[in-house]
Amino acid sequence: MKHALVTGGSRGIGRAVAERLAADGYNVVINYRANQQAAEETLAAIQQNGGCGELLPFDVSDGAAIEAALEQWSAAHPDEYISVLVNNAGIRMDSLMIFMQEESWHKVLDTTLNGFFHITRRLLKDMLTHRYGRIVNVASLSGLKGMPGQANYSAAKAALIGATKALAQEVAARKVTVNAVAPGFIATDMTKELDEGELKKMIPAGRFGKPEEVAAAVAFLASEGASYITGETISVNGGLYT
């Protein structure tokens, strides 16, 4: 059995990624922080389509909670390891810098960047030992070009892209690849308050993307077919930023 962990896997892009990887034959470990109902719905959808999955709740910004949860998973699967990691969990707390509170800065970076660090470091040892692994980090258009009102979010996602490039060079010899996808405007809960009618005028494709379109890119990077691709960031944004 192949195992894939998707952080923030209960809704939006995370749910689409979890469902796609399950369809590709992985037992998907669905991480969530608080929304158990959404996580259970995602798991039910996977199972209804003949896939395998399980739930693993923990807060990605809490290093101790991550360690405890992954130790629990390892104890339940003593002869197996998580070979695919999708670092998807993230939050937005938008504000102009002049009005931004310290809490908003730290919470956004703790979730995206520190979460990546703690989870990836914990799972990397098994990937290197088995000489196989796929790490896919969900970055953002904001991390490539910056977005006004998102200094914290842009900083976190840009740092994630930089970490992707650095780590890819460290582990490539052990057949572990590290890549990122950078979604643009995707129709999820995170973007539902945006003016889609106005914003899609900026997008050459003329529409917001679908979570499943991001999931397709993630699934490719997680596949055997992407074994010679590492340190890359694939934009999924309808041509908005090229």
Per the CB < 8 A criterion, the answer to whether 95 and 107 are in contact is: no
DSSP 3-state percent helix, strand, coil across the chain (nearest 5): 50, 20, 30
Beta-strand ranges (E) seen in the chain are 2-6, 26-32, 52-57, 82-87, 133-138, 176-183, 233-236
Edge-to-edge strand ranges of the sheet holding 176-183: 52-57, 26-32, 2-6, 82-87, 133-138, 176-183, 233-236
Residue 81 annotated among the catalytic residues of the structure: no
Helix (H, G, I), strand (E, B) or coil at 15: helix
**In 3D, which of 15, 24, 1 has the Cα closest to residue 219?**
24
**In 3D, which of 23, 34, 32 has the Cα closest to residue 5?**
32
Which backbone phi and psi does 233 adopt, to 5 degrees?
-125, 120
Question: Among residues 32, 132, 153, 228, which one is catalytic?
Answer: 153
> Rounded distance, CA 166 to CA 122, Å?
17
Q: Which residues are catalytic?
A: 153
